[in-house]
Amino acid sequence: MVESGVREWVKTVMLAVIFALAARYFLFAPILVDGQSMLPALNHEDRMLVNKIGYFISEPDRFDIIVFEAEEDINYIKRVIGLPGDEISYRDNVLYINNEAVEEDFLTEYKQNLPLVPFTADFEMEELTSYKKSA
């Protein structure tokens, strides 16, 4: 009788471990934020659980925070600002999408407190990539 109780506990623990490993591998992944590039939304050394199946269901939207593998075994955390076909530029601390200024609400407080500090250097997206639109 005691032996069957132990057997049931062992089966329960083994099933829980298998479920946890499957969830970790297929559904969620822990990630550690490395660096300051996502301030103020995410701080250096913040810990997060990343949903691994969300973008199999739908595409990311503008301003979503995403995690992607940039190099083998190195994940990056970034905010989506451009979608396919968009023209992106940054001038005088203002983001432009398709030549229209876009308010970045998540930076408003920081820009007010540090008005002389550029958060992003000026750029045109074509300067940063090898992609060139055909005329």
- Stated pTM of the model: 0.66
Phi (first) and psi of residue 112, to 5 degrees: -70, -40
Question: How confident is the model over 38-56, as pLDDT tens digits?
Answer: 877 888 999 998 888 887 8
Q: Which of these, 87, 108, 89, lies nearest to 98 by C-alpha position?
A: 87
pLDDT, tens only, 82-134: 899 999 998 888 889 999 999 887 777 776 777 666 667 777 877 766 555 55
Query: What residues are annotated to the active site?
Result: 37, 78
How is 42-89 classified by DSSP, letter by letter? Answer: S-TT-EEEEESSHHHHSPPPTT-EEEEEEETTEEEEEE----TT--EE
In the block, which residue shows the tokens 């099933």? 15
